[in-house]
Amino acid sequence: MHSDVVLELYVFVLASFLGFQVITRVPGLLHTPLMSLTNAISAISLVGSLILAGAGERTMATVLGSFAVFASTTNAVSGFLITDRMLKMFRRRPAPKPTEKAP
Partner 1 sequence: MNENLVSLSYLVAGVCFIFSLKWLSHPSTARRGVMVGEIGMVLAVATTLLKAEIIQFQWILTAGILGIALGVPLGLFVPMTAVPQRTALSHAFGALAAGLVGTAEYYLDQPHISHFQMSALGVEVMLGFLTVTGSLIAAGKLQGIVRDKPFIYPGQNVVNIGALGVGVALIVALVLDPGRTILFPILIVVATLVGVMLVIRIGGADMPTVISLLNSYAGLSAAAMGFVLNNELLIIAGALDGSSGLILSLIMSRAMNRSFRNVVFGGFGGTTVAGPEGAIETRPVRSVDVEETAMLLDAAAKVIIVPGYGMAAAQAQHKIRELSDALARRGVDVLFAIHPVAGRMPGHMNVLLAEADVPYDRLRDLDQINEEFAQADVALVVGANDVVNPAARNDPNSPISGMPILAVDQARSVIVVKRSMRSGFAGIENELFYLDKTQMLFGDAKQVIGGVVDELQRLPARAAVEA
Which residues, numbered 17-76, are part of the site for partner 1 (CB under 8 A)?
Answer: 18-20, 22-58, 60-62, 64-76
Q: Which is nearest to 37 in space by CA: 79, 100, 92?
A: 79
CA pseudo-torsion sign 24, 26, 29, 34? negative
Could you give the string, one character per residue 82-101, with x where binding to partner 1 holds by CB under 8 A and - elsewhere?
xxxxxxxxxxxx-xxx-xx-
In the complex, minimum distance from the CB of residue 95 to partner 1, in angstroms, rounded to a whole number: 8
62/77 Cα distance (integer angstroms): 22
In the complex, minimum distance from the CB of residue 6 to partner 1, in angstroms, rounded to a whole number: 10
CA distances in angstroms from 89 to 11, 25, 38, 85, listed in the order given? 35, 20, 19, 7
In the complex, minimum distance from the CB of residue 10 to partner 1, in angstroms, rounded to a whole number: 10
Contact between 3 and partner 1 by CB under 8 A: the answer reads no
Binding residues for partner 1, total number by CB under 8 A: 87
